[in-house]
Structure 1
Amino acid sequence: MTGTVETALDLWGLAGARSDLVAARENAVYRVEQGGRTVALRLHRTGYRTDAELASELQWMAALAEGGLNVPAPVAARDDALLHVVDGVQVDVLGWLNGRPLGASGVPLEHPDRTGLFRGIGREMAHLHALSDAWSPPPEFTRCRWDRTGLVGEAPVWGRFWDNPALSEADRALFRDVREVAGAELRALGPDVDFGLIHADLVRENILVDGERLHLIDFDDGGFGFRLFDVATTLLKNMREPDYPALRDALIEGYRSVRPLDPAPLDLFVLLRAASYVGWIAQRMDEDGAAERCARYAAQTRGLAGAWLEARAPIADGAGRGLQSHEDVQT
């Protein structure tokens, strides 16, 4: 990648700048420093997004940054383009944001004011949605859709979770039931459900804490979707925290301080977010540790699915139970 990075830096007028690889998840991200200036150089995973999708992502991020949200602002190359393809790799440059990731999945959360932190996340998430609603995307704007089709249709955004080949027959049957019942519930939400541009991946690694400020990064999976899907994504990775109910309530409270939110269908979206990881990992089973992650994702989804389906089954007293506890849920 050295030659690709050097060529990309030259396109952005940064030839000879120091570059250090700081992340290698879906994309390779380099911290680039020159003359007191710091930016992030992104080399995108081949084949994950089209040029049109990435151009749309950058336009959206520019609008959010201009609106005052703490997100990385795109940096134009010397020819004013925001995106280039170098050696077959899609490349762009973003402004650098200071701060440290909120945490890592599976590691106990450490923060002195946990509920205050989650109220802040809720506020930032709501500001993202509000700014997105106020923005008019250009006609050529194209991003994925986390709608009913994108979650439980024939070809979901992150894959057919019920067809993951590593699943047991029992899990496949259970997840097919989830797909059927969830599809009906999504259809029943009706036209008034809050839907629009969402980040879709506000996990701990994509929230930077910089003193009292929170920065939202990595819009790779952003697109059109249910606003509760953003809420569910953040909550899913924190369900094993001992104070999870308080964190959940704080996030919702923070969100509602900016714009309305109806959390009634939230359990549905927590389950669908968990299930999406089962589809996602099926396409990455050749990676190190994939088998263990797949088993963990399946177990998490199995636990959530059992509780969610049970709550919808007719029982004697007509009462059901939602996903209000961190117990029996793995992250």
Structure 2
Amino acid sequence: MSGSDMPLEELLGHLNDLAQSSLSLWDVPDGATARLINVSENATYLVEAPGGYRAVLRIHRENYHTHRAIECELGWLEALDSAGVVITPGVYTGRNRDPIQQAHGDGLPAPRYMVLFHFVEGKAPDESGDMTAGYEELGAIAARCHEHVLGWKKPDDFQRLTWDEKAVFGPTPTWGNWRDAPEVTPDMAGVLEKVEQTVRDRLSAFGKAPERFNLIHADMRLANLLIDDRGTRLIDFDDCGWGWFLYDFAAAISFIEDDPRIPSLKAAWVKGYRSVRDLSAAEEVEIDTFVMLRRMALLAWIGSHIEAPEPQALAPGFAATTARLGQAYMERVRAMG
């Protein structure tokens, strides 16, 4: 049985044991303990010790990233921080001088990679009120990151996931097949098949020139901004990889694509982006295509991660809303000619 086939409660029990037993791989204070704070692709733990020590331990999902791919993620974090593009979390080096540790826990079928990050002070922007200022900042941060990667000489053998049409719609999609998601009825599937083809056609015409398709964060939501009186920090680069720059906006509205505030949030993001980097009218028009690409990917993600609490909570009605959004998207595309 792989980790992905194990019931979630059982898996988390084994991962908790691994988290506690692995703290000795780093030079952490005596009495340190790890407490689960989030589970998605990875399991994330808050590590605390007497005297106020805090750190964040990430235990990677089985077979999601290679050691080299994680090295590349950490390399980009360091480069962004060093260049003053955005503040990113620091990383603790293990006792063996490698920031990426690997250990095998009892009950787990395979070893897991782990990274111990510096604890980042700050709070995510409030998503219950007016989010326009937050999205304007997101747009500016995205543009600064995009400008950086265009001039950054990436290390040799740079390995990261790719977030393109093949990753979502190809024969071996990264997050699974949207057709297998909960509540996808034959009628919905008929609409979504047309949406998929429309998105494919638009992306093919849009192209993958380096100034449009390059290294992106791929999960730049408000929840991944932490703000305090010293500034804004960008966290959770686990999904960073090759993709269209405009996918960073689509990721920023993950799971709220049907919120009536989206047009104003998009306008705020574009305003922030253009304060740093040029964005043509043709590119702005195509943002909706990336929103649909991301939404279809999220539909697949819910289906392939249904054991976890968040996908279970999101599943009711998600397919129906996706089909409705897709129908409206296709009507807008047709209206544009």
Q: What range is the shorter-chain TM-score in?
A: 0.7 to 0.9
- Give, in whole Å, the separation in 2 of the partners of 1:71 and 1:42: 15
Query: Counterparts in 2 of 1:196-275, with a 5 A limit?
Result: 196-211=214-229, 213-239=231-257, 243-261=261-279, 262-275=283-296
After TM superposition, give the deviation of residue 165 of structure 1 in Å: 6.0
**TM-score normalized by the length of structure 2:** 0.82
Q: 1:32 to 1:191 in 2, by over 3 A?
A: closer
Structure 2 unaligned spans of 5+: 1-14, 105-110
Q: 1:148 to 1:198 in 2, by over 3 A?
A: same
Runs of 4 or more off by more than 6 Å in structure 1? Answer: none
Task: Say if 2:142 is the partner of 1:125.
Answer: yes
Task: Say if 2:109 is the partner of 1:90.
Answer: no
- Equivalent of 1:147 in 136, 157, 164: 164
After TM superposition, give the deviation of residue 279 of structure 1 in Å: 0.7
Please identify, of 248-257 and 69-78, the stretch whose mean Cα deviation from structure 2 is larger.
69-78
Identity %: 29
After TM superposition, give the deviation of residue 43 of structure 1 in Å: 1.5
After TM superposition, give the deviation of residue 206 of structure 1 in Å: 1.8
CA RMSD of aligned residues (A): 2.5
Q: 1:138 to 1:180 in 2, by over 3 A?
A: same
Counterpart position of 2:315:
294
After TM superposition, give the deviation of residue 286 of structure 1 in Å: 3.2
Alpha carbons 1:17, 1:32 under 8 Å: kept: no
Alpha carbons 1:151, 1:157 under 8 Å: kept: yes
Task: Say if 2:68 is the partner of 1:49.
Answer: no
Query: Counterparts in 2 of 1:14-29, with a 5 A limit?
Result: 14-21=28-35, 23-26=37-40, 27-29=42-44
- Give, in whole Å, the separation in 1 of the partners of 2:262 and 2:301: 25
Counterpart position of 1:325:
none
> 1:89-131 CA distances to partner (integer Å, 9 max, x unpaired)?
211111221112335xxxx6235xx432221111111122222
Structure 1 unaligned spans of 5+: 314-318, 322-331
> 1:190-226 CA distances to partner (integer Å, 9 max, x unpaired)?
3446111111112232222324732221112110000
- Equivalent of 2:94 in 77, 84, 94: 77
Counterpart position of 2:11:
none
- The number of equivalent residue pairs is 310
After TM superposition, give the deviation of residue 307 of structure 1 in Å: 0.7
- Give, in whole Å, the separation in 2 of the partners of 1:121 and 1:20: 31
**TM-score normalized by the length of structure 1:** 0.84
- Give, in whole Å, the separation in 2 of the partners of 1:295 and 1:266: 26
- Equivalent of 2:302 in 281, 293, 296: 281
Alpha carbons 1:203, 1:237 under 8 Å: kept: no
